[in-house]
Structure 1
Amino acid sequence: MFFTIFMAATGLIWTVQVVKHISFLTTSRQTFLTTLKFSALFIPSATQLVMPFAFVIAIAQTFSTMNQDSELVIVNAIDSPCRAIWRPVLLLGIMLSILSFITANFITPHARLHMRKMIAAANSTLINMLIQEGSFHEVSKNIYLEIGERRPNSSIGRLVLIDQSHPDFDLFYCAVSGMLTSNKNGHVLVMNNGEVQRRDNKNGRVSIIKFDSYTFDLSEFTPANQMVIIYPKDRFLTYLFKPDLDDPYYQQHPMRYTTELHRRLTEWFYPLVFSLVALVASSNAHPYRERRISVLVSAILLSLFIYWLGYFFAERAVNNLAYLPCLYLIPFGISALLIYMLFTNRHVGFPVRCLNAVFKITAGILSYRGHIENTQ
């Protein structure tokens, strides 16, 4: 069950990330293997996020099924200690925490660095500087380019180039088709079957010249030796311990590196924390009819709340390092509390009556909103 939930959630997040970068994938003329490689670089960061939540859902659902089949009742009725069912869950939680630490500090930074370099390399060519079809893009100051169609053979259909860089006159280039290409001197735009209009800004006169082919030099407008910005999330753990003092981004945002370091040292612990949450919420036998819904919901909601607390204080610590102790207090302090609850045979959960009340209130609000909208 864990692997099913894990793969489904990872696939969903991976799809969202690929769609987010679909412009790069479709406009950079990448090969299929390059596109596949770029897409695969999102997987480590997705697995790191999904892993603890998939684990807590799988554990809670497994214990709910065991309770439904009266297996937990039998375990509690005999002399077998509850630690017998704790052990495999905690061992798996420890293994996933170690895997999360390795992924967050070694695999994910390597993938993110490689992805940054691929994007920077693609953006160094003009065709990836252009925005989507049907809108103008400022290539340089007072120079705008709009394309009507991108064709599979890398040619361009229906393009307009506006050059307003001269104070005395403006130039308007229109062409039926064109091609972005490169030579030893840089990037050039070859326009075919079009015209150039020259408008004098002093007297408003317009002169038109038609052409079969016209070449416009764009090399001065493309970024040369563009520096790749590497963020704290892209760095390895060793770099975060001792960042380069000459790093321009570190000089501007030193607290981001400090916060990222402490976040890396604490966030890997969440799979084990969530395993404790699942044990406290669902490892005890209970009347199935009374707590069928609340076990799984309680584990998920509590896990989300704990993760949100960590995220909240991490964001606050970027601007105020006084919040850094909270990054350690949340996972380790809550773990100590959950261990105490396990050994004292306590559990957490939302009673079904509370959940039903929440559902009824939500349904009432939605019904009221629908009634208001219908009367307007």
Structure 2
Amino acid sequence: MKVVERYILRRAFVVFAAALFWTLAIVWTTQVLTRIDFVTSSGQSALAFFELATLVLPSVIPVVIPFAVAIAVAQTLSMMNGDSELVVISAAGSSRLATIRPILLLAAGASMLSFVVDNGIDPFARQRARELVSTARADLLSTVVQEGSFRKIDEGLFVQIAERLPDGKLGGIFVADSREKNVDLVYYARDGAVIDMDAKNVLLMSDGVVHRKTVGASVSVIKFNSYAFDLSAFSSAASQIVLFAKDRTLGSLFNPDPNDPVYMKAPQQFRAELHRRLTEWVYPLVFALIALAVAGDARSHRQARIHPIVTALSFALIVRWLGFFVANEAQTAPAFAVAVYLVPIMASAISIWFILTLRSMELPVTWADNAAAFVRRIGDRIILVRHRLLGHPVPDVKGHS
């Protein structure tokens, strides 16, 4: 590899790594915020909470990598063009391959990373995440004995424990059960305990009352000395782990078990997921070609109306949306399976045509004009609002007061 190629590769890789890191950091933060209820509703530890949030990242990385490549290539070539470095490289006798080779090398490495994460890490991360959620739901003992807060055991079933007594019993038990239609049951008990009875998890309540309320009838109150509330059904149901097509390894998608209940119910989803796995990893290469077609020409953005990053990301978003659309439709319509492969192939072919013919891929002029006009209108409105808030004379649209 020539010196200039190593230089371009190094600059593009730095931007790619930064874009990937900060995007994943933002995504991880949002996942942390959306999964706070995992701790509050199930009583799990902070370690399990952060583990679950981290296990989401392998699902996001293959989606983010292509856009990080597009940003890196467009930004690097745009800056080099602005500093006239691309012109100097061309004037020194170097061919366009000196610019294209390092970009394709970066994209190839990103594609390999995407393939490994999507097919080697993500399925196991998804399975582990389902195990964590299942364990949290099945661990009813740790859920129920949390003091001073309501715990949702099932849809329409809530339990609250006032305190844990020194002898291991539970004090101040409250159970609200509205699972049966038009019937509300409320249990109050002075104390109780979660015990194993006939191989079942049972909440045994002592010295309490049951309030029963039905539609159109008054509340009936029944006192009891002891009452056993069966929890085993919820524990066993919650502990079952169901793996869908997205949770399976590449090998199991190629050769699914014909007796698998999930596969028998939706075999087309397994085939659609296989097609998605076989094409997802090529998008970094596709987006690199798009960015090269947009910003690879030394003269391309002297006359450009929109920044190359905006143009490259706009085309990339269109292509990725088409990819998501056909992959989603392929889950129910087998005819869309061909389109899953055609989208990246056609996008690559169009980009290569622009590169080989020394043309610059740009957004339509009307789009650029409309975007510029929109930005100007926003700027004018900001100026008007600022002047009104400060009590200054309001300027007209041309900036005259």
User: TM over 0.5, yes or no?
Assistant: yes
CA contact (8 A) 2:213 2:220 kept: yes
Give, in whole Å, the separation in 1 of the partners of 2:279 and 2:349.
15
* Pairing partner for 2:266 from 246, 253, 258: 253
CA contact (8 A) 1:64 1:292 kept: no
Partner of 2:312: 299
Q: Does 1:328 align with 2:341?
A: yes
More moved, 58-67 vs 24-33: 24-33
Closer/same/farther in 2, CA of residues 199 and 292 from structure 1, 3 Å limit: closer
Partner of 1:9: 23
Q: Does 1:342 align with 2:355?
A: yes
Give, in whole Å, the separation in 1 of the partners of 2:99 and 2:360.
15
- 1:158 Cα deviation from its structure 2 partner: 8.0
Closer/same/farther in 2, CA of residues 230 and 198 from structure 1, 3 Å limit: closer
Partner of 2:389: none
| Per-residue deviation, residues 147-178 of structure 1 (Å, max 9, x unmatched) | 5799999x8988442478699x97532368x7
Closer/same/farther in 2, CA of residues 179 and 45 from structure 1, 3 Å limit: farther
| Per-residue deviation, residues 5-29 of structure 1 (Å, max 9, x unmatched) | 1011112222233333332233333
More moved, 38-47 vs 52-61: 38-47
Residue aligned with 2:211, SS = strand
- 1:278 Cα deviation from its structure 2 partner: 0.8
Give, in whole Å, the separation in 1 of the partners of 2:203 and 2:235.
16
Alignment of 1:19-38 (within 5 A): 19-38=33-52
| Per-residue deviation, residues 224-275 of structure 1 (Å, max 9, x unmatched) | 2643111111111111111001111111111001111111111110001111
Give, in whole Å, the separation in 1 of the partners of 2:361 and 2:219.
80
Partner of 2:87: 73
* Pairing partner for 1:161 from 151, 155, 176: 176
Q: Does 1:354 align with 2:367?
A: yes
Partner of 2:120: 106
Give, in whole Å, the separation in 2 of the partners of 1:259 and 1:305.
21
Closer/same/farther in 2, CA of residues 295 and 249 from structure 1, 3 Å limit: same
CA contact (8 A) 1:146 1:161 kept: yes
Residue aligned with 1:224, SS = helix
Partner of 2:57: 43
Give, in whole Å, the separation in 2 of the partners of 1:180 and 1:294.
67
CA contact (8 A) 1:109 1:233 kept: yes
Letter in 2 for 1:222: F
Give, in whole Å, the separation in 1 of the partners of 2:355 and 2:220.
84
**Share of identical aligned residues, percent?**
33
Closer/same/farther in 2, CA of residues 287 and 366 from structure 1, 3 Å limit: closer
Give, in whole Å, the separation in 2 of the partners of 1:48 and 1:157.
50
Give, in whole Å, the separation in 1 of the partners of 2:63 and 2:256.
25
Q: TM-score, normalised by structure 1?
A: 0.80
Partner of 2:234: 222
Partner of 1:371: none
* Pairing partner for 1:120 from 134, 147, 154: 134
Closer/same/farther in 2, CA of residues 315 and 162 from structure 1, 3 Å limit: closer
Closer/same/farther in 2, CA of residues 221 and 344 from structure 1, 3 Å limit: same
* Contiguous gaps of at least 5 residues in structure 1: 369-376
* Pairing partner for 1:238 from 251, 261, 265: 251
| Per-residue deviation, residues 325-374 of structure 1 (Å, max 9, x unmatched) | 11111112321232232122122012677324234258769999xxxxxx
Give, in whole Å, the separation in 2 of the partners of 1:295 and 1:102.
30
Q: Give the total of aligned pairs.
A: 359
Give, in whole Å, the separation in 2 of the partners of 1:147 and 1:367.
57
Alignment of 1:171-190 (within 5 A): 171-174=185-188, 181-183=194-196, 185-189=199-203
Q: Does 1:315 align with 2:328?
A: yes
Give, in whole Å, the separation in 1 of the partners of 2:43 and 2:338.
47
Residue aligned with 2:188, SS = strand
Give, in whole Å, the separation in 2 of the partners of 1:36 and 1:95.
29
Give, in whole Å, the separation in 2 of the partners of 1:11 and 1:151.
39
CA contact (8 A) 1:291 1:352 kept: no
More moved, 275-284 vs 186-195: 186-195
Letter in 1 for 2:220: V
Partner of 1:374: none
Give, in whole Å, the separation in 1 of the partners of 2:162 and 2:101.
59
Closer/same/farther in 2, CA of residues 256 and 198 from structure 1, 3 Å limit: closer
CA contact (8 A) 2:209 2:221 kept: no
Letter in 2 for 1:95: G
Give, in whole Å, the separation in 2 of the partners of 1:179 and 1:363.
69
Aligned-residue CA RMSD (Å): 3.9
More moved, 112-121 vs 22-31: 22-31
- 1:44 Cα deviation from its structure 2 partner: 1.3
Residue aligned with 1:313, SS = helix
| Per-residue deviation, residues 21-58 of structure 1 (Å, max 9, x unmatched) | 33223333333433333232112112111111011111
CA contact (8 A) 2:62 2:280 kept: no
Give, in whole Å, the separation in 1 of the partners of 2:163 and 2:359.
65
- 1:221 Cα deviation from its structure 2 partner: 3.8
